[in-house]
Structure formats: structure tokens, C-alpha cells
């Protein structure tokens, strides 16, 4: 959290050390704070997000996609969606943005360590889960990990390096699918729910972490419910328009909860207490 | 303007805005009131709370239309046949106010004869509205004791704009729905102080207070006051000035607070005209698209930096007071005009806006009793206000119409200048949205307003969207015989299939590249509301 | 030290003159156009403090301005981006003539801006303030603070509180700063006697009976909590709402805000925060255009749920203070009283 209330809204300059082009719509920015000392003392947890400032464009919340165990660097994976992200996509190594955070309630990492883990992601939704997966792996997670990732087309597949390395990890099953095939694609075509149907999972011993478009979330939730997953074992993240990031401005309201402070990570059990558009369809 | 002037003798709202609350029936035609005139819509809502019934005549299913008891979604440009059909039904069903027609109007028989020749089935066909609905609307309006008609630019911005207005006036007179409180015909003005500008003679043929330039008595009065000789010939209309092209009638123009490059039809023609002037002078508070073309730009002061009056739709003259001094080098409009005039050799020496108002009161009879000291600390006065003792006029035409007797002027259907065909199959309607004002000169500087509505959207019926393969949020190329723009599609059932709607607020999507230059023969008002376009996915 | 005093009306102005030496003074002032507004007072002899009419504004703008600069930034090149804090002076300020609704609203804002995270801009303006309240003997036409249960008299939250007893004010204190004023300026205050206390109670009884609106706020709160508000109510109100944001701007407890960049030159600008309204569709619309709230059908739902359901759930009291200002300003007749009436039209 910010060191004093004085700079509650004031970001700190952070330099882009590298830009990784994930696909035509998503770039991952490797950042570190210009202030070395601050950078060294900075930490975050998987699931949290940063408020990113770009000159004349204001701020936007972006979830951290790297693992805090790789100290000194923050990965923000940014999908082109509005003016700010459009401008950010034009930025290059050496350019400086403003960052404040981290904000939000992280994934309950402690409760994951002794469980099988199922990750289901669509599109940019893999970004926050990548943070969790790499943190678990770096911490030596021993139980089974299943990763299901859906993209629109093969060229839309992001985080290819990670996917490849997860695919080669002993206790990890990593399956991809696309909505629409392209020449040369030999993998699955269809929805992630189809992949899910093929996976053998023990609903009582597995935590499911989902992140992606509302349609996907709804379909996956329906299937997990059928397979006997408890609502408390299903974890997802919510997205809302945000301004302050610290629970005052109330743009990110979801009934009486605020996504910036009470989320963005929620269990299905929690979401069912609320009227959530994503679940209602 | 011209339509009400020929029928009633005065081209302004006959009622006060507040009176709408007490109407039994409201007929809203060619007005998206809740977006363009929210303060008027508010009174309509109150009237509905009190049990009033609402008829909306509009090609689009606007928010107001959704709340209406009867919505007649007419084919654009067919208002006259619709109104004539309503009048015929009123005649047939004995709902006309014979005594009112006898006592207060003239020329009724010409209208009656025309109506008796009317084929109702054909009218229904032309307008695209079922006869039963027209009949229901006619009965509702015809039976009301207190009914108001509100109309706006959807009526006037047509080649038959004057005929539209005359038909509205005919309908109101035929049923005796004028000359009373809470009852009348109410043109809603398009912008703040348009009424005031017209009142002050910013029209080609009149001096302030609608005193015609070709009437000697009026002209001599102004010559005496101003110590100059004045021309008896009416001046040029807006379209004659901004559409003259290369060999236009003007060599120089002084444009104040207007942005014709974006707001006038056929943008390329306006640009050509302005670029061929020997001298263009623009005074505005921001550097508009028009100001960018000027040889000299004079920074003007905003409303908060000057003292004076605005006149609104209901003829109410209200004071605005200077809150802060003009910023930077900007100056008030009055200062700019006086200084310019002095340098051109005619000294205008007014020590204050109040002194100017005194002259207005002296020369413009309808403003005869309007003095700053009376307007201060009040909600203003409504003209006509003949002298200092006069309390203003909440509703017009009490006892008799301004012109004496109300005159029925029958109008026949005149089709729009350009209708869809095989090459240009869609009908484009232009208009406004709630969060932006006119060409966005002022409103687009607000972060919040731009967040609410920051870009032009083309309303397109989902069926048409499917046919064109266009989804919501995708870009569409829209082309007319005059130009082409790219605009983002918004799929909505607000518009009918075959019709599309967009706004003229955004310079990135200058829709007046597409519009036609055809105009009403009497008022010279351009037909912004209808042109034919071709759409394709980008 | 006794807890009730008498201040003669004749002595009010002299007392304010003393307090003004050390504090900026803000009070309801009637201006030359006949409007009463809370405003800063430079010269006590040149203004008319108006305790008869309801000020059109609340104290919100003084602690949380309509627009303020959070910090400035400069970006001379793409590899440099600097932020400079903007710290304004906030002199000690005395707010005089604050009615129970506006006083309760300040206490509510304290929770929003200071409870979990301390908002530096609010905190700076809020510290070193003295609140001098005024009990309402004669509620205004649209008032319903009896229904929100924070008026017309209030017995906490102020530094000093006045009750008009005709020729004199009864003065009470709740916080130490109020106590200090009384002891510092003892010559102005006489101890109140039994008659004065009885007179105050009588004034309270009479004030309680003078409300013109009957607002069944507690019923609406119950219906919201049980999710019994008919869909049609949200639809009707949302469709009628004219989207002007006036309710949120005028509301003493509406504190939602937006943050945006105001570019001043090619390479510099200000990060500003400005009032916002949850009824605007841009309030929730995300980058890319998706909006989790359907404005036309539900645009107004959040406003009433927040005030009458979520805040009740969280803090056990609604965050509407019954000042009635939104009733006055609303274009479309979609104010909170209309909502409550529509919700509770049956089974009162």
C-alpha cells in the first residue's frame, strides 16, 4: 500500500524494461519503479492490480500478471480496449508510465497449496491466473494442476512461452482450444467447456480458478456445479470501471461490494450473495 | 417562423412552458423533447402525472414516444398528410370548434374544401401509419378542452417546413386550441437565445420586434434613431450567405458565435464559400472549425463574463450577470461590435448593457417595458411587454390573434427533396443527443459530457445491421451523393428498418458532408432531416 | 462546567466577530439576488447572515470541491514522467448555522473519506474546523429529516449547537472545541436555567409537528432489504430520469467522484477529481464499451440502493439526511421522496 496518505492518488514513475507482444491485441509490459529503493521494497500478491497512469490519458486498473517471487519486476498484460491502452500499446522500452498500488484482495494463496488446482481462462483472462500459476510452481506446488485456455483463433493465443513451459511441467496438464481454427492448427477447436468435460477432477479436492469473458464463466460454472464443486471452491475475478482504486469513488460498485477493495477476487459463494450481471447473463 | 407568422401573426410559443403542466392532451411532433428540451419534457411528465394524455408523432421511438399513449411512427417528411388526415377525421366526427372558427379565424372554407377531397386511406399509405391510430390521435386531440402542440426542428427542417407549421396551426385553430391559457402551439427553439436573436431582427427582412424593413414607417423610425439611411430591401438568408460558392454574393463576412462549417448543410459548399471570401472575421469563445478559416479571430467572452439578457422559447427575457471579468484578451460581443463600428467610422457609444436595453425598449414595441432594473432579481418578463407598467404576456393571442383573425393556410404534401432509392437505400435523419450541444464547441470541452457521449453513433435497426453484416460498435462507411463519412454503428430499435439516425455534434464525423442543400421556399430553412445514404461495413 | 448556556441574539454578531479573528467564517448568506448560500464571509458588516432560509448548497463543496487538483504532472519526453503534489493551505475554519441535515452529512462524509483509507485532500480541509449547528425550529417545505432520524434537532456531532428561543439562543456543546469557545469567551454566555431548557423542549416538540411531507423511509428501507421493490419502480424512475446529475451534485452525502487528466500544455497537465453521479451511464461503462448497468432500465437503482439499503446494512442508518434538496432540483420527478412513495404506495 502507499506509504503515506499524502500520495494516495499520486503515482510513482515506472520504467518499461521490456515489451512482449503476446498477440495483436495484448502486450505485456515488464516494469520497475524508477525509484530503486521503492522498487526493492515493493511487493504484491497474485490477483492484485495496479493503477496505471499515462500522460493526458488518466488511469486504468491493470491486473498484475507476473509472480511476486521474481522480485523487482512487475508484469502488466494490457489488452487494447480504450484510449489509455491504445496509447500504452505505442510505448516502448525505456518509456515511463505512472503506477500506484497494488490494490485489491488477492487470491487466497494459502488455501490453494494443499489442493489440486484447476485453472480455466479465456483471452486476457489468463493474465491474473498466470500470476497464480507461476507463483504456485515457483513455490513447488506438488499436487495436480490443470490449465485450460481458450482463445478466439490460434494467433490470439497469448503467453505462449508460459503455456509451453507449463506443458512440460510434470504435475501440470495444459490444454488449449480455439473458437476458430487457422491453417496449421492441429489442436482443439471449440469451447473450454468441451476441454473441461474431458478432464477428470475430484471436486472435493480441487480449487477452481476462472477468469475470462462472462459467457465462458457462466458455461464453466454450470459444468462445475454439475460435477459437484462447492461454491466456496470456485474462485474468479471481476472487472469494473474504476477511478480511485482504494474504495472511495464507488465506480466499481457491485451491489454493496466494491470490486477494488472487496475484490477483484471473489468466490462463487460470495458472488451468489450479490446481483451480478456476469452470472445472470 | 414563417408558418406561424402567416397564420397567427407571431412566430413564437403561444404558451408559457409551465402551462404545459396543465394540459389535458399534449401532441408532440418533430421534437425529441426529453433529450433536446429536458426542462420542457419535465412539464410533460408532470402533466402525465396529473392524468394528461400524450401523442407523439416521430419516425423514431424516442424515450418520450415510449411513454406516449399514442405513438405515430410516421415516414419522415409526411407530416402534412398526417395532420391533414387528423383534421379530416376531426371534421367528419364533428370535433371541430365551429364557434371559434367563426369568431376568431378566416379562410376556413379553403381548408375545408381541401380536406373533403382528401383520401384517408391514401394518407395512411403515404405516412406509413395505420388509419386507426391516426383516428385515435385525432379523437384524443380533438376532444381535449386544453391541448398543446409542441414541435421543434423535426417540423421546420424540411423543404415543406412552412407548410408543416401551417398545418399544425390549422389543426389548433380548427379545434379552438389557441388563445387560451394551457392551450396552444409551441415551437421549441433549437438553441438558447435563438428567440432573442430573431426578436432583435437577426432575420433578413425585419428590424427588431419584427418590423419589416420594406415598410417606410418602420424604416424611418430606425433611421431617425441611428442617424443613417437604411435599405428597404431584405438581406440575404443564411443559406444564400454560406452557400454562395466561388461567385457568391458576399465579399466579407463577420460570424459571431456560430459554426456554419459544421452546422450548415453540404459542408464542402460552405467551406468553398468561406474560403473564397476576401475577408472572414470570426468572434467566438473557442477556435471553431469556422474560426480556423478566418483571417482574423476575435476571442469573445462567455455567458459568465458578460451582463445582458437571453430570450428563451417562451418569449421570456431573463438577465444574465457577469460573474468573472473576461479572461485573457477576450471581450464581450457588445464591446467587439462597438469597437469595430467605431473604427469603421460609426461611433456606438453605450456606457452599459442597460443603456442598450433602453434603446431596445424604445424601438422594439414588444420589448417596450423591458428594462434591466425590472428584469433584475426576477425570473424575467415575457413579451409582448408594452411599457413599464405592463407585466408581460404568459400566453399569446388572448381575445384576438396578433394578425387580427387567425388565417387557415391549407398545405398539400410535398415529398422530401431526396428519398432513398436503389443506389442510396437508407433514409438518414440528423438530430441531437442529450449530452452535447450543437457543434460541440463548448460541450466537448467537458470531460464528463464527453465521457457520456464522446463520439458520433449511427442508430441502425438490428435487422439492417444483420443484412449489412454490421454489429454494434463496428464502423460503417456512410455515403450520400455529396460526400462520405465513417461512423460507429449502434444497433437499436429506436429507428425503423430502412431509416438511420445520427448527430451533427462531432467534427470527426461531419454529417453535413452528406445532407442536401434543398430548403423550404419561405423560411429558407435547410432540409437537415432527410437525405438518402448508402451504408457499408468498413 | 454546566452544559447549557444562553447567548443573547444581540451578542451573536459580536461573538462571530471575535471568532473570525482566528477562523475563516462560513455561514448561510443571503446574496443580492435573493439566494441563500453557504459562503465565506470577509466582512461581517457587509453581508446578511440568513438563518431563516435553507441554504441552497450544503457544506459538501467546502470539504470536497466540485473540482480539485490532486497533483500536477509533466512529461517532457516519453522517458520522463513526473508528479508534483499540490498542497493547498487550509486555514482553521468555523462553519456557522449548520442545520442537522448538513451536520449529519459531514459526519457521513467523515466515514467515507476518513474511515478506511484517509483521503488527504478531504482530511486537510476537514481538520481545524469548528461546526456550529442550528436546530431547526421550522422545517422547510421538502424536509423529511424526521424520517431519516437525524433532525430537526440533533444532539451530537457539533462543536456548538444553537437553538433559537426567540430573543436568545440556547447553546450546547458536544466536543471540546465547543467547550473551549465557551470558556474562552465566557462574557457572551450566561448559564441556562430550567425555563430555557423547557423552552428548548417546547421548540423541539413544535418543530417535530411542522413537517409537511410524510415520508415512509423506514418502510422503503425494509422493502429494499427484503428485495420487495417491484421492477416496475426502477424502470419507471430510470426512464423518467433526465440524466442531469443534479440530485447527486446537490446532495450533501453523494460523494462519488471521477478522476481525469486535464492537459494544460503538450507536456504537462493536472490530475483532477470532480463530482460524478452514479446515474450517468459513463459511471460504470468500461473501456471497450461494455456497461454492467442498463441506464435506461436501472440507471437510478444504484442511487437509492446505496443510500437506503447498502449503507443501512453497513452502518445501520441510511445515508439520506432528509434535507429535501433533490426534491427541489429534480427535473423528471425521480427524487428520493418519489421513490419512497412509489415503493410504499401500498401496505403502509
Tell which residue, B367, B351, B346, B342, has the closest CA to residue B201: B367
Q: Is residue B395 part of a domain?
A: no
Domain-embedded: residue B80: yes
Between these two residues, C345 and B268, which has the higher pLDDT value?
Answer: B268
Cβ pair B63:C239 closer than 8 A: yes
Provide the grid cell at B368: 417596450
Q: Which of A159, A154, A148 is nearest to A184 (CA)?
A: A154
Query: Based on the domain organization, do B145 and B183 belong to the same domain?
Result: yes
Place of cell 447498502: C310
Contacts for B460-464 with beta carbons within 8 Å, 24 or more apart? B460/B489, B460/B490, B460/B491, B460/B492, B460/B495, B460/B500, B460/B535, B461/B491, B461/B492, B461/B493, B461/B495, B461/B496, B461/B497, B461/B498, B461/B499, B462/B491, B462/B492, B462/B493, B463/B497, B464/B426, B464/B497, B464/B498, B464/B500, B464/B535
Tell me what the pLDDT averaged over chain A comes to. 92
State the average pLDDT over residues C79-96.
Answer: 92
pLDDT at A86 over 80: yes
Banded model confidence at residue A3, pLDDT cuts 50, 70, 90: very low
Query: What does the alpha-carbon distance between residue B226 and residue B350 come to, in Å, rounded to a whole number?
Result: 13
C291 reaches B (C-beta below 8 A)? no
Compute the distance between CA of residue A143 and CA of residue A62 in angstroms, rounded to an integer: 30
Residues of B in contact with C246 (CB under 8 A): none
Please name the chains neighbouring C, where neighbouring means 3+ C-beta pairs under 8 angstroms: A, B
Chains that touch B (3 or more CB pairs under 8 A): C
Q: Which of A107, A90, A135, A279 is nearest to A207 (CA)?
A: A107
**Which helix (H) or strand (E) element contains residue C161?**
strand C160-164
CB contact under 8 A, C286 and A81: yes
Among B28, B51, B53, B30, CA closest to B41: B28
Is there a single domain that holds both residue B253 and residue B177?
no
Count how many domains chain B has.
3
- pLDDT tens-digit profile of C209-236? 999 999 999 999 999 999 999 989 998 8
pLDDT of residue A115: 93
- Are the beta carbons of C283 and A251 separated by less than 8 Å? yes
- Please judge whether C258 and B451 are an interchain contact, meaning their C-beta atoms are less than 8 angstroms apart: yes
Name the residue with cell 424604445: B362
Interface test with B, best of C331, C335, C337, C338 (most B CBs within 10 A): C331
Same domain, C138 and C230: no
Together in a domain, C204 and C232:
no
Asked if residue C221 and residue C181 are part of one domain, the reply reads no
Least confident piece of the model among A222-236, B121-135, B407-421, C283-297: C283-297
Cell 399534449 found at: B26
Residue B198 shares a structural domain with residue B164: no
Question: Do residues B232 and B355 both lie within one domain?
Answer: yes
Interface test with C, best of B18, B448, B457, B474 (most C CBs within 10 A): B448
Last residue of a domain, one of C175, C208, C241: C208
* Residue of chain C whose Cα is closest to the Cα of A238: C292
Residue with cell 410533460: B44
- Record the cell numbers describing residue C205, joined without a space: 416538540
Q: Which residues contact B317 (CB under 8 A, 6 or more apart)?
A: B196, B309, B310, B311, B367, B370, B375, B380, B381, B382, B383, B385
Residue B504 pLDDT: 84
- Per-residue model confidence (pLDDT) at position A71: 78
Task: Quote the pLDDT of residue A6.
Answer: 62
Q: Are residues B465 and B523 in the same domain?
A: yes
Q: Hey, which chains touch A, using 3+ CB pairs under 8 Å?
A: C
Lowest mean pLDDT of A261-270, C80-89, C286-295, name the range: C286-295
ipTM attached to this prediction: 0.89
Provide the chain B residues 106-145 that lie in CB contact (below 8 A) with chain C: none
Cβ distance of B45 and C243 shorter than 8 Å:
no
Residue of B nearest to C33 (CA): B377
| Angle B274-B275-B279 from CA coordinates, rounded to 5° | 75
B391: in domain = no
All domains of chain A in start order, with CATH? 5-103 (2.40.30.10), 109-237 (3.40.50.80)
Tell the burial category of A132 from Cβ atoms under 10 Å away from its Cβ (0-12, 13-18, 19+): buried
Same domain, C44 and C121: yes
Measured between beta carbons, the chain A residues lying within 8 angstroms of C278 are: 250, 253
Same domain, B11 and B160: yes
C290 touches chain B (CB under 8 A): no
Asked if C258 has any chain B CB less than 8 Å from its own CB, the reply is yes
Residue C262: inside a domain:
no
Domain of residue C311: give its range. 217-256+277-343
Asked whether residue C83 is domain-assigned, the answer is no
CB pairs under 8 A between A and C: 125
Apex C258 CA angle, C257 and C262, nearest 5: 135
Min Cα distance A97 → chain C (Å) is 7
B49 and B106 co-located in one domain: yes
Give me the CATH number covering residue B58: 3.40.228.10
Distance CA(C118)–CA(B521), nearest Å, equals: 66
Position B335 scores a pLDDT of 94
Backbone phi, psi, residue C288, to 5°: 100, -15
In a domain, C78, yes or no: no
Residue B49 near residue B171, CB atoms below 8 Å: no
Average pLDDT score, chain C = 93
Q: Do B164 and B181 fall into the same domain?
A: yes
Residues C190, C130 within the same domain: yes
Cα–chain-centroid distance for residue C185? 29
Low-confidence ranges of chain B (pLDDT < 70): 1-2
- Give the residue from B382, B407, B434 where a domain finishes: B382
C-alpha cell at C249: 451534485
Among residues B161, B188, B215, which one ends one of the domains? B188
Do both B51 and B162 map to the same domain? yes
Are residue C130 and residue C221 in the same domain, yes or no?
Answer: no
Q: Which residues 6+ apart lie within 8 Å of B525 measured at CB? A: B156, B157, B158, B161, B519
How far is the CA of A94 from the CAs of A20, A81, A90, in angstroms? 14, 23, 12
Does residue A102 have a cis bond before it (omega within 30 degrees)? yes
In a domain, C124, yes or no: yes
DSSP string spanning A109-148? HHHHTTSEEEEEEEGGGHHHHHHHHHHHHHTT--S-EEEE
> How many Cβ atoms from other residues are within 10 Å of residue B406's Cβ?
27
Q: What is the chain C residue with the closest CA to A81?
A: C288
C348 pLDDT tier (thresholds 50, 70, 90): very low
pLDDT of residue A72: 84
For residue B81, give every residue at least 6 positions away whose Cβ sits within 8 Å of its Cβ, in sequence order, or none: B122, B123, B126, B127, B413
Question: A3, A70, A73: which is closest to A39 by C-alpha?
Answer: A73
Tell me whether residue C64 is in a domain.
Answer: no
Co-location of B324 and B355 in the same domain: yes
Residue C280 contacts B where some CB pair is shorter than 8 Å: yes
Distance from CA of B451 to the nearest CA of C (A): 6
- Do B66 and C239 count as a contact with CB atoms less than 8 A apart? yes
Q: Are B368 and B439 contained in the same domain?
A: no
Residues C198 and C304 in one domain: no
Examine the domain organization and report whether B150 and B62 are in the same domain: yes
Please give the Cα distance from A4 to A100 (Å, whole number): 12
Does any CB of chain C come closer than 8 Å to the CB of residue B377? yes
User: Rg of chain B over CA atoms, in angstroms?
Assistant: 23
Q: Inspect the interface and report whether the beta carbons of A253 and C306 lie closer than 8 Å.
A: yes
Cell numbers placing C67 = 473540482
CATH of the domain at B364: 3.40.50.740
What was the pLDDT predicted at C332? 82
Query: For A161-177, what is the mean pLDDT?
Result: 92
Quote the pLDDT of residue A150.
94
Same domain? C163 vs C244: no
Are C64 and C100 within 8 A, CB to CB?
A: no
Has residue C74 been placed in a domain? no
Indicate whether C25 and C105 sit together in one domain: yes
- Same-domain status, C246 and C187: no
Q: How far apart are CA A258 and CA A265, in angstroms?
A: 11
Nearest Cα neighbor of C129 from C19, C224, C239, C217 is C19
Residue B411 falls inside a structural domain = no
C42 vs C37: CA distance, rounded Å: 15
Strands A257-258 and A253-254: antiparallel
Q: Where in the sequence is the domain holding B6, given as residue range(s)? A: 2-188
The CATH number assigned to the domain holding B518 equals 2.40.40.20
Q: Give the three cell numbers for residue A128.
A: 491474473
Residue C103 in contact with residue C135, Cβ under 8 Å? no
Q: Is residue C70 a part of any domain in this protein?
A: no
Residues in CB range of B514: below 8 A, 6 or more apart: B428, B478, B479, B480, B482, B483, B484, B485, B531, B533
Question: According to the model, what pLDDT value does residue B3 have?
Answer: 77
Q: CA of B165 to nearest chain C CA: how many angstroms apart?
A: 28
Tally of domains in chain C: 2
Contact A9 C259 (CB under 8 A): yes
Look at residues B188, B204, B225 and tell me which one is the last residue of a structural domain: B188
C199 and C333 belong to one structural domain: no
Closest chain C residue to A17 measured between Cα atoms? Answer: C79
pTM: 0.88
Please list, residue by residue across B254-263, b when 16 or more beta carbons sit within 10 angstroms of its beta carbon and e when fewer do: ebeebbbbbb
- A12/C contact by beta carbon, under 8 A: yes
In the numeric block, which cell numbers belong to residue C89? 493551505
The verdict on C191 and C240 lying in the same domain is no
Asked whether residue B390 is domain-assigned, the answer is no
Amino acid at each position: 500500500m502507499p506509504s503515506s496518505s499524502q500520495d494516495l492518488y499520486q503515482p510513482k514513475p515506472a520504467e518499461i524494461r521490456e515489451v512482449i507482444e503476446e498477440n495483436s491485441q495484448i502486450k505485456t509490459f515488464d516494469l520497475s519503479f524508477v525509484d530503486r529503493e521503492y522498487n526493492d521494497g515493493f511487493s504484491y500478491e497474485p490477483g492484485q492490480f495496479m493503477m496505471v497512469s499515462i500522460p493526458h490519458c488518466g488511469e486504468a486498473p491493470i491486473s498484475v500478471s507476473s509472480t511476486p517471487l521474481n522480485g523487482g519486476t512487475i508484469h502488466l498484460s494490457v489488452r487494447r480496449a480504450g484510449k489509455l491502452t491504445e496509447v500504452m500499446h505505442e510505448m516502448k522500452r525505456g518509456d515511463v508510465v505512472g503506477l500506484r498500488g497494488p490494490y485489491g484482495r488477492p487470491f487466497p494463496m494459502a488455501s490453494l497449496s494443499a489442493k489440486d488446482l484447476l485453472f480455466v481462462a479465456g483471452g486476457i483472462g489468463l493474465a491474473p491466473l498466470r500470476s497464480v500459476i507461476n507463483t504456485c510452481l515457483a513455490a513447488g506446488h506438488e499436487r495436480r494442476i490443470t490449465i485450460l485456455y481458450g482463445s478466439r483463433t490460434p494467433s490470439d493465443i497469448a503467453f505462449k512461452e508460459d503455456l509451453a513451459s507449463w506443458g512440460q511441467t510434470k504435475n501440470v496438464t495444459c490444454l488449449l482450444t480455439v473458437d476458430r481454427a487457422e491453417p496449421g492448427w492441429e489442436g482443439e477447436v471449440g469451447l473450454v467447456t468441451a476441454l473441461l468435460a474431458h478432464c477428470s477432477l475430484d471436486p472435493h479436492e480441487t480449487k477452481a480458478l476462472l477468469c475470462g469473458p462472462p459467457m465462458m464463466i457462466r458455461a464453466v460454472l454450470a459444468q462445475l456445479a454439475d460435477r459437484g464443486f462447492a461454491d466456496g471452491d470456485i474462485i474468479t475475478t471481476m472487472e469494473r470501471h474504476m477511478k480511485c482504486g482504494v474504495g472511495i469513488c464507488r465506480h466499481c460498485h457491485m451491489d454493496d461490494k466494491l470490486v477494488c477493495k472487496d475484490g477483484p477476487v471473489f468466490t462463487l459463494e460470495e458472488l451468489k450473495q450479490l446481483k451480478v450481471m456476469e452470472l445472470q447473463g | 417562423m414563417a408558418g406561424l407568422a402567416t397564420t397567427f401573426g407571431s412566430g413564437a410559443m403561444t404558451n408559457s412552458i409551465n402551462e404545459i403542466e396543465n394540459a389535458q392532451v399534449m401532441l408532440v411532433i418533430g421534437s425529441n423533447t426529453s433529450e433536446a428540451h429536458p426542462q420542457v419534457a419535465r412539464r410533460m411528465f408532470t402533466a402525465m402525472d396529473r392524468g394528461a394524455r400524450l401523442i407523439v408523432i416521430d419516425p423514431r421511438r424516442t424515450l418520450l414516444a415510449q411513454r406516449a399513449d399514442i405513438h405515430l411512427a410516421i415516414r419522415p417528411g409526411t407530416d402534412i398528410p398526417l395532420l391533414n388526415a387528423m383534421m379530416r377525421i376531426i371534421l367528419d366526427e364533428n370535433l371541430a370548434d365551429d364557434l371559434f372558427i367563426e369568431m376568431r379565424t378566416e379562410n376556413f372554407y379553403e381548408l375545408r374544401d381541401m380536406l373533403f377531397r382528401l383520401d384517408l386511406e391514401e394518407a395512411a399509405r403515404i405516412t406509413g401509419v395505420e388509419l386507426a391510430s391516426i383516428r385515435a390521435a385525432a379523437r384524443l386531440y380533438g376532444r381535449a378542452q386544453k391541448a398543446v402542440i409542441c414541435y421543434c426542428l423535426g417540423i421546420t427542417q424540411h423543404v415543406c417546413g412552412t407548410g408543416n407549421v401551417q398545418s399544425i396551426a390549422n389543426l389548433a385553430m380548427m379545434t379552438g386550441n389557441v388563445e387560451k391559457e394551457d392551450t396552444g402551439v409551441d415551437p421549441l427553439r433549437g438553441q438558447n437565445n435563438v428567440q432573442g436573436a430573431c426578436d432583435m431582427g437577426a432575420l433578413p427582412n425585419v428590424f427588431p420586434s419584427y418590423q419589416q424593413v420594406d415598410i417606410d414607417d418602420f424604416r424611418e423610425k430606425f433611421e431617425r434613431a441611428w442617424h443613417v439611411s437604411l435599405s428597404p430591401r431584405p438581406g440575404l438568408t443564411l443559406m444564400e450567405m454560406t452557400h454562395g460558392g466561388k461567385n457568391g454574393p458576399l465579399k466579407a463576412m463577420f460570424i459571431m458565435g456560430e459554426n456554419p462549417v459544421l452546422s450548415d448543410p453540404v459542408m464542402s459548399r460552405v467551406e468553398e464559400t468561406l474560403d473564397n471570401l476576401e475577408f472572414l472575421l470570426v468572434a467566438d469563445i473557442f477556435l471553431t472549425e469556422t474560426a480556423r478559416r478566418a483571417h482574423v479571430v476575435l476571442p469573445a467572452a462567455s455567458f459568465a463574463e458578460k451582463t445582458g439578457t437571453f430570450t428563451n422559447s417562451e418569449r421570456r427575457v431573463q438577465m444574465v450577470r457577469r460573474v468573472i471579468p473576461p479572461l485573457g484578451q477576450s471581450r464581450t460581443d457588445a464591446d467587439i461590435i462597438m469597437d469595430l463600428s467605431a473604427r469603421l467610422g460609426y461611433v456606438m457609444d453605450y456606457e452599459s448593457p442597460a443603456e442598450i436595453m433602453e434603446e431596445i425598449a424604445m424601438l422594439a414595441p414588444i420589448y417596450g417595458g423591458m428594462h434591466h432594473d425590472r428584469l433584475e432579481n426576477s425570473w424575467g418578463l415575457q413579451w409582448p411587454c408594452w411599457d413599464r407598467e405592463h407585466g408581460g404576456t404568459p400566453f399569446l393571442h388572448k381575445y384576438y390573434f396578433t394578425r387580427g383573425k387567425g388565417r387557415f393556410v391549407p398545405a398539400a404534401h410535398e415529398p422530401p427533396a431526396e428519398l432513398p432509392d436503389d443506389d442510396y437505400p437508407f433514409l438518414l435523419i440528423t438530430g441531437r443527443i442529450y449530452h452535447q450541444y450543437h457543434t460541440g464547441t463548448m460541450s466537448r470541452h467537458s470531460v464528463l459530457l464527453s465521457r457520456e457521449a464522446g463520439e458520433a453513433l449511427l442508430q441502425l435497426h438490428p435487422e439492417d445491421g444483420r443484412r449489412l453484416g454490421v454489429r454494434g460498435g463496428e464502423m460503417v462507411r456512410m455515403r450520400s451523393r455529396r460526400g462520405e463519412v465513417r461512423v460507429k454503428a449502434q444497433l437499436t430499435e429506436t429507428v425503423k428498418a430502412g431509416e438511420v439516425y445520427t448527430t451533427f455534434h462531432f467534427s470527426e464525423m461531419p454529417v453535413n458532408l452528406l445532407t442536401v442543400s434543398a430548403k423550404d421556399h419561405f423560411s429558407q430553412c435547410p432540409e437537415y432531416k432527410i437525405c438518402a445514404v448508402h451504408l457499408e461495413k468498413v | 462546567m454546566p452544559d447549557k448556556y444562553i447567548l443573547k441574539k444581540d451578542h451573536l454578531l459580536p461573538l462571530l466577530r471575535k471568532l473570525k479573528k482566528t477562523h475563516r467564517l462560513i455561514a448561510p448568506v443571503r446574496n443580492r439576488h435573493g439566494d441563500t448560500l453557504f459562503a465565506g464571509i470577509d466582512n461581517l458588516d457587509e453581508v446578511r447572515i440568513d438563518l431563516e432560509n435553507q441554504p441552497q448548497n450544503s457544506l459538501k463543496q467546502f470539504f470536497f470541491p466540485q473540482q480539485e487538483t490532486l497533483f500536477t504532472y509533466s512529461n517532457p519526453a516519453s522517458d520522463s514522467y513526473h508528479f508534483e503534489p499540490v498542497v493547498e493551505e487550509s486555514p482553521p475554519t468555523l462553519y456557522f448555522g449548520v442545520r442537522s441535515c448538513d451536520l449529519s452529512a459531514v459526519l457521513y462524509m467523515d466515514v467515507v473519506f476518513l474511515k478506511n483509507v484517509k483521503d488527504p485532500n478531504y482530511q486537510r480541509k476537514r481538520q481545524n474546523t469548528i461546526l456550529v449547528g442550528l436546530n431547526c425550529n421550522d422545517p422547510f417545505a421538502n424536509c423529511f429529516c424526521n424520517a431519516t432520524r437525524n433532525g430537526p434537532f440533533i444532539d451530537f456531532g457539533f462543536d456548538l449547537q444553537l437553538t433559537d428561543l426567540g430573543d436568545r439562543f440556547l447553546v450546547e456543546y458536544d466536543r471540546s472545541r465547543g467547550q473551549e469557545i465557551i470558556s474562552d469567551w465566557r462574557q457572551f454566555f450566561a448559564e441556562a436555567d430550567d425555563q430555557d431548557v423547557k423552552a428548548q423542549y417546547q421548540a423541539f416538540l413544535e418543530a417535530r409537528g411542522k413537517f409537511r411531507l410524510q415520508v415512509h423511509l423506514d418502510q422503503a428501507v425494509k422493502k429494499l432489504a427484503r428485495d420487495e421493490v417491484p421492477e416496475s419502480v426502477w424502470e419507471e424512475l430510470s426512464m423518467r430520469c433526465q440524466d442531469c446529475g443534479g440530485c447527486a451534485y446537490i446532495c450533501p452525502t453523494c460523494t462519488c467522484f471521477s478522476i481525469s487528466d486535464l492537459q494544460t500544455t503538450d507536456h504537462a497537465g493536472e490530475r483532477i477529481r470532480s463530482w460524478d453521479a452514479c446515474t450517468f451511464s459513463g459511471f460504470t461503462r468500461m473501456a471497450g464499451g461494455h456497461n454492467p448497468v442498463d441506464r435506461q432500465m436501472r440507471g437510478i437503482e444504484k442511487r437509492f440502493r446505496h443510500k437506503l439499503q447498502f449503507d443501512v446494512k453497513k452502518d445501520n442508518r441510511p445515508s439520506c439526511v432528509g434535507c429535501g434538496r433533490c426534491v427541489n432540483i429534480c427535473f423528471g420527478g425521480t427524487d428520493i421522496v418519489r421513490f419512497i412513495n412509489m415503493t410504499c404506495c401500498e401496505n403502509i
